[in-house]
Amino acid sequence: DLSCRYGKTVLVFDPGDKIYSIPIQNFIVFHTWQYRFEKKQNEIIIPAISEDVGRGRDIIRHKNTSHKPSVGFCGWAAFPSVRVFFSAYWRKVVIFFQTILTGNKKLFVKNKGLLFRRAILKKLKRSNRVVSNFIIRKSFGSNKLTIKGSAEKARAEYIDNIANTDFSLAIRGDGNYSIRFYEILSMGRIPVLFDTECVFPMEKETDYDSIILRINISDIDKIDDKIFEFYDRLSDDDFIERQRRARDLFLNELYYPVFLKYLFADKQNIQSLLG
């Protein structure tokens, strides 16, 4: 009521895995994620708050002589309990019937990210076209509340996994986004993004597909071929250039403090992001 009375726009920051739709006209809502087919006119996608894991590192990696790309993943991809197992599959059943009732075939992307991760990792582990480097955990990242063992060691393993592979998998979690997507870029690595109707920050201004490898989530059965063929087409110079551009994208546009500085440098910036 106050914002309407005084003609003031309200800026609402709503980060995290849960998302709230705020239909009030003079509210602008900043989310870290959304589904492309559900994004509202008053929503702006912002980067997730992430660490610059590439700082102080020699990030350059050359193509290997075996011509097989290495693909890394370190994180939550195992069911921590029976309750989580049944919760994930119950959600899958509900979404299946919603799809039938609404006719919206895109709804399947709302399945729990853990199911997508497990299917993707299983496919890649069985493939002879890529070298997999996977560390599977039953907890989110190196969260001290859930991790078993040393959180510092788990974090170090996670960062080394990104640094020591040609590609790193960026697969959605509970929210339709991936913090590791930003951390992969910060390391100067090429994310393999599985597109579940993702919306990125500054999509109109940034050519993401000239840097990352985007694979539609419906192409899980072809992911090893797509990664291999993408890698095979790159010369060593092309591969290095993509790494440099990945880090530049993070530092110049997607590092949270830099993005906020851009966002509030001029009121026209917010209007341009609203489209």
How far apart (Å, rounded) are the C-alpha atoms in residues 102 and 139?
Answer: 34
Phi–psi pair at 136, nearest 5 degrees: -95, 130
- The radius of gyration of the chain from alpha carbons, rounded to an integer in Å, stands at 20
- Helix, strand, coil % in the chain, rounded to nearest 5: 45, 15, 40
**Res 38: pLDDT:** 93
**Res 94: pLDDT:** 96
Secondary structure (H, E, C), 223-275: HHHHHHHHHHHCCHHHHHHHHHHHHHHHHHHHCHHHHHHHHCCCHHHHHHHHC
C-beta of residue 42 within 8 angstroms of C-beta of residue 29? yes
C-beta of residue 34 within 8 angstroms of C-beta of residue 241? no
Cβ contacts of 32 within 8 Å, gap of 6 or more: 15, 16, 45, 46, 47, 48, 175, 177
Cβ contacts of 254 within 8 Å, gap of 6 or more: 47, 182, 185, 201
**Res 240: pLDDT:** 96
Angle at 247 between CA 16 and CA 166, to 5 degrees: 95
pTM over 0.85: yes
**Res 144: pLDDT:** 63
**Res 143: pLDDT:** 63
**Res 206: pLDDT:** 93
**Res 67: pLDDT:** 83
| Sequential DSSP letters for 8-68 | -PEEEEE-SSS------TTEEEEES--BTTT--TTEEE-PPP---TTTTS----PPPTT-P
Cα–Cα distance list, 15 to 33, 49, 61, 134, 200 (Å): 8, 9, 33, 28, 14
Rama region for 197: left / alpha / beta (φ>0; ψ in -120 to 50; rest): left
Written as tens digits, the pLDDT of the chain (275 aa) is 888 888 888 999 988 888 887 777 789 999 999 999 999 989 999 999 999 999 998 889 999 888 899 999 999 999 989 999 999 999 999 999 999 999 999 999 999 999 999 999 999 999 999 999 999 998 776 566 667 778 888 899 999 999 999 999 999 999 999 999 999 999 999 999 999 999 999 998 899 999 999 999 999 999 999 999 999 999 999 999 999 999 999 999 999 999 999 999 988 888 888 87
| CA proximity to 168, closest of 187, 186, 191 | 191
**Res 20: pLDDT:** 80
